Amino acid sequence: MLNQLDKWHKSRPGLAVFAIVELVIADGFFSLSVDRGNFWWYILTLIFLVGALQNLVKLIGSLFHGKRR
């Protein structure tokens, strides 16, 4: 099952969904970090933000370059 999830995550729809979900989670953690001022919420915000940006860069790269083998 994890292999199927990994394979789907590497597809264009998978990259888009994971990027959107990670941005939503990062937004939630950012709201918590501003509201409560806890340093750990800021760290979790950065982790999910970096993950979302990585997925967006991979998605844009796959849109421009297509599938190369």
Report the domain count for the chain: 1
Mean pLDDT for all residues in the chain: 91
pTM: 0.83
The 10 Å Cβ neighbour count of residue 51 is: 17
19 inside domain: yes
- pLDDT at position 67 over 80: no
40/22 Cα distance (integer angstroms): 17
Task: Provide the pLDDT confidence category of residue 42 given band limits of 50, 70 and 90.
Answer: very high
4 inside domain: no
The 10 Å Cβ neighbour count of residue 47 is: 14
- pLDDT at position 58 over 60: yes
pLDDT per residue over 9-20, tens digit each?
889 999 999 999
Range of the domain at 38: 13-65
Q: How far is CA 57 from the centre of its chain?
A: 10
State how far the alpha carbon of 23 is from the alpha carbons of 2, 13, 19, 42, 66, in Å.
22, 15, 6, 14, 24
